[in-house]
Amino acid sequence: MVSDYLSVLCRRYMGVLRAEWRVHTTAFDDLKLIGDSMDWLCKKENCLEWSKEKSFHGPIMNTGLAKLNRKKVALDCLKNLGSEVHRALLADGLEKRIDGDKNLHIRISLSKLVRGEIRLVTTGNIETSVKGIFKIESYPGSSPKDIATKLIEGMI
């Protein structure tokens, strides 16, 4: 009885609290193209805020940060990843992507993103990526992995 109640509660009210995307680029990368691609992914105009920093080796690095602090916007962004990515996340196992702070970590290929495709970066593959962090809405007595699994399964 209680588990049925929690299941309904999870389906209706639990999801993603916020999301954040981070991308690191060099001075040679096309920031406008990357920004437009991130706007498409997040469904929000001018979502990236750029900052310049000196890298460890000296050249200037650009860091783009998109913060999606509203639940609906963050959830829409997760939905926008597409069923192929959702299936890959589930097949890969969500437990290794969720940290102790209930954050779901996702890396997608930057080169594919600027072409209008969304693909997960495979483990061990060295390529430029965009890192996404989704804060899972989870309360005591519920498992962030179970909530994320039900949420992503519902998006397929």
Please check whether residue 51 lies inside any domain of the structure. no
Rounded CA separation 130/45 (Å): 17
Whether 58 is covered by a domain: the verdict is no
What's phi and psi for 60, nearest 5 deg? -75, 135
Q: Where in the sequence is the domain holding 8, given as residue range(s)? A: 2-22+29-44+67-155
> Is residue 97 assigned to a domain?
yes
pLDDT of amino acid 66: 94
Helix (H) or strand (E) holding 7: helix 2-13
Using one digit for the tens of pLDDT, what is the confidence trace for 80-133? 999 999 999 999 889 899 998 999 999 999 999 999 999 999 777 778 899 999
Residue 59 inside a domain? The answer is no
- Whether 88 is covered by a domain: the verdict is yes
Is residue 16, in this structure, part of any structural domain at all? Answer: yes
* CATH number for the domain that contains residue 15: 3.30.1440.10
User: What pLDDT does residue 93 have?
Assistant: 87
H helices, E strands: number in the chain? 6, 5
**Res 110: pLDDT:** 93
The total number of structural domains in the chain stands at 1
Query: Tokens 């690095």 map to which residue?
Result: 61
Q: What's the confidence (pLDDT) of residue 9?
A: 43
**Per-residue pLDDT band at 56 (split at 50, 70, 90):** confident
151 in a structural domain: yes
Confirm whether 145 is domain-assigned: yes
pLDDT at 54: 79
Of residues 147 and 126, more confidence is placed in 147
More confident residue, 73 or 58: 73
Amino acid 53: pLDDT = 84
At 1-39, the pLDDT tens digits run 444 544 444 445 468 999 999 999 888 889 999 999 999
Contact 120, 89 (CB under 8 A): yes
